[in-house]
Structure 1
Amino acid sequence: MEDELSYTPDCLNAKMPVQCSSCVEKRAMLKRPKTGHSLCKECFFWAFEEEVHQTIVAANLFKPGETVGIAASGGKDSTVLAHVMKLLNERYSYGLELMLLSVDEGITGYRDDSLETVKRNQQQYGLPLKIVSYEELYGWSMDAIVKQVGLKNNCTFCGVFRRQALDRGAVMLKVDKICTGHNADDVAETVLMNVLRGDIARLRRCTAISTNSEGDGVVPRCKPLKYAYEKEIVLYAYFKKLDYFSTECIYSPNAYRGYARTFLKDLESIRSSAIIDIIHSGETLSIREGVKMPVQGTCSKCGYISSQMLCKSCVLLEGLNRGLPKLGIGKHHRLHNKIVNNEPLTEKEESKLKVLDI
């Protein structure tokens, strides 16, 4: 929480009162990181909410009568998303039926605590809640996975399983769409990560504000907070006194995204528009004609979307169940036929896949 409160602007400690630049009546309580405007709390709330509303309207994210699942983790982003979605749905009569959807990865001392926050949010906002767990879906918790794979590659497993778990939960709830709390900082970080990885396929689509249904069991997703700065989300949650969980995942210190985040923060300290500039670069990216792109198909084992014979989730799960954790780390597509046909691997293949460099 200490880091989050460091976002509180200097004008709170100013010796001379500063007037709100919007209403020109009340004392300014903060300086917006996004625009630099000094605003009172009420004008900031209105400006933040209206910008999210304009994002929703401009991108035509929802249609009246749709059932929308809000991905809820208990963190600041998803809590602000749930609060603002409920508020805007009522203010502008979107005509949506809202539900909360949470994923329990099975991380003792982290996810079990954050889910208590989600359950309180359920009562506070009066929204239905569905929780799906890795243990229930895959037979593995993240605690068990980390014991086998270590801390170096665990985020790969969690990210892949979480994405599919959200889709499975959405199908159970029979929602038309899922909205996630991804903010401007998240999107800019993803652009940077895909540039650094040279992942053209993901770079091409990572700035999209919404996805279309790509196959059976895949529910369209959207990002209403796509242009909202993380700092402003923290300020909104702080001044609104929202109930959220602020502890970072205990397994994420070595995550690749953390390095991209640190780099982005350094850029932002030099150039405040760096976040939006990076997003705009990603949005206007064009791929040279003739560049080979992955063809989206379905997994031959579970039917989930995949550009390979097996989806990443099935490969990772097979590796865990066989005691071969490296099977899903790196490119082992040549082994997919053996997995599909339940054929044994050679002694040489197994020896390469058994021990992770942790």
Structure 2
Amino acid sequence: MFDKRFRKTVRMGKMISKGDRIAVGLSGGKDSTVLLHSLAELKKDLPFEIVAITIDEGIAGYRARTMKPAKSECEKLGIEQHIFSFKELCGKTLDDIMKKDREHIPCSHCGVLRRYALNKAARELELDKLALGHNLDDMAQTVLMNIMRCEPSRLARLNEPLTRNARLVPRIRPLMMTPEKEIAIYAMLKGMPIERVECPYARFAFRGHVRKMLNESEERYPGTKFKVVNSFLEIEDALRGKYGKTAVISECSSCGEPCSKGVCMFCRLQKS
């Protein structure tokens, strides 16, 4: 069932083509590790290349514990791995940043820096697409978060940018229709050496409250998460039609990376 759903998601979304060079954002957690394994299995039937990219945020007592199994899995599967760090990117670890910034929550910095680092790394490695381990739960949470924040324009570009930019590597989410519980069971059955440790900054995130709400709804009304994501997919074209007309992706005046405004969020956070 797991493999069938995974392959169907890839096929229906036309996510991977013959000869593609796919970057996998590999943290060492269950989602990205299962994604790596599933793509390696798919590769037996469809010739494409896989390269793992691991981002070290510099979170004491957390990231080091997940980087070891990530490296081990890459070696076992014969997959090339590249490691990039926040320290190399901006001269500071996430811990360093949070010691000085009490205004923003940690996830605000981490999300921006991770997206920036993954895109930059994938482009510099000349990879065609960036595969992320976002599962059904993640997708449902993101949909609700954008609705609760009244940000429909962000929903419109959830699956792909509203306009193309040569410096922006296309993203794919092969696990987007797979529940988190199924991924955890799959990882356990396959004996994957996954560190079950939560990021120490997770307690500050708005996502945690939405996750709890969705889990409670799923328990009472099974299928809630699928319905949330499928509802989004039903209106996605309408959202893209509305917001795509005015969407612009230019280049940051400071660093040259893709952004929708004059200065990208990465550079703005660096100056704050």
TM range (shorter): over 0.9
Give yes or no for contact 2:162–2:240 (8 Å, CA) kept in 1: no
Give the equivalent residue in structure 2 for 1:225: 175
Higher relative contact order (CA 8 A, sep 6+): 2
Structure 1 CA distance for aligned equivalents of residues 225 and 234 of structure 2: 15
Secondary structure of the 2:120 match is: helix
Alignment partner of 1:77 is 2:27: no
Following TM superposition, by how much is the alpha carbon of 1:74 offset from its aligned partner in structure 2, in angstroms? Answer: 0.3
Output the amino acid matched with 2:94.
M
Shift of 1:151: 8.6
Query: Following TM superposition, by how much is the alpha carbon of 1:214 offset from its aligned partner in structure 2, in angstroms?
Result: 3.2
Residue in 2 that maps onto 1:340: none
Q: Read off the aligned partner of 1:219 and give its amino acid letter.
A: V
Match of 1:105 among 21, 35, 57: 57
Q: Deviations over 1:276-297 (max 9, x none)?
A: 1001111122349877955332
Unaligned runs of 5+ in 2: none
Q: Matched residues in 1 for 2:65 and 2:263: separation?
A: 34
Q: Shift of the alpha carbon at 1:199?
A: 0.6
Q: Distance in 2 between matches of 1:263 and 1:173?
A: 39
Tell me how far apart the structure 2 counterparts of residues 214 and 141 of structure 1 sit (CA, whole Å): 31
Q: Please list every run of at least 4 consecutive aligned residues from structure 1 whose deviation after the TM superposition is greater than 6 angstroms.
A: 288-292
The residue identity in structure 2 corresponding to 1:263 is M
After TM superposition, the score normalised by the length of structure 1 is 0.72
Deviation at 1:267, TM superposition (A): 0.8
Is the aligned partner of 1:153 residue 2:105?
yes
2:8 equivalent in structure 1? 54
- Amino acid of the residue matched to residue 297 of structure 1? S
Cα displacement (A) at 1:66: 1.2
The 1:122–1:173 alpha-carbon spacing in structure 2 relative to 1, beyond 3 Å, is: same
SS at match of 1:284: helix
Q: What amino acid maps onto 2:111 in structure 1?
A: G
Kindly tell me: are residues 61 and 282 of structure 1, through their superposed partners in 2, closer, same or farther at Cα, counting changes over 3 Å? same
CA distance in 2, matches of 1:288, 1:312: 22
Q: Between 287-296 and 227-236, report the one with greater CA deviation.
A: 287-296
- Alpha-carbon distance in structure 1 between the residues aligned to 2:42 and 2:240: 40
Give the whole-Å Cα distance in 2 for the aligned partners of 1:49 and 1:288: 30
Deviation at residue 149 of structure 1 after TM alignment: 1.5
The CA deviation at 1:150 is 3.7
Tell me which structure has the larger Cα radius of gyration. Answer: 1
The correspondence for 1:122, drawn from 61, 74, 93, is 74
Q: Distance in 2 between matches of 1:130 and 1:151?
A: 32
CA distance in 2, matches of 1:63, 1:277: 29
Tell me what 2:42 maps to. Answer: 88
Contact kept? 1:211, 1:221, Cα under 8 Å: no
Give the aligned length.
269
Give yes or no for the alignment of 1:306 onto 2:259. yes
1:137 deviates by 0.9
Q: Which amino acid aligns with 1:95?
A: P
The answer to whether residue 271 in structure 2 is matched with residue 318 in structure 1 is yes
Deviations 1:37-88 (A, max 9, x none): xxxxxxxxxx211211111111111111111111100000001001111012
Q: CA deviation at 1:217?
A: 2.6
**TM-score w.r.t. structure 2 length?**
0.93
- 1:250 equivalent to 2:250? Answer no
- Inter-partner Cα distance in structure 2 for 1:231 and 1:62: 25
Question: 1:199 and 2:151 equivalent?
Answer: yes
- What SS does the aligned partner of 1:238 have? helix
Percent identical among aligned pairs is: 34
2:106–2:204 Cα contact (<8 Å) kept? no
In 2: Cα distance, 1:177 partner to 1:167 partner: 9
Q: CA deviation at 1:152?
A: 5.6
Residue of 166, 187, 190 corresponding to 2:139:
187
Query: What code does the residue aligned with 1:316 have?
Result: L
Is the Cα contact below 8 Å between 2:6 and 2:174 reproduced in 1?
yes
Contact 1:64 1:96 in 2 (8 A): yes
Residue 162 (structure 1) aligns with: 114
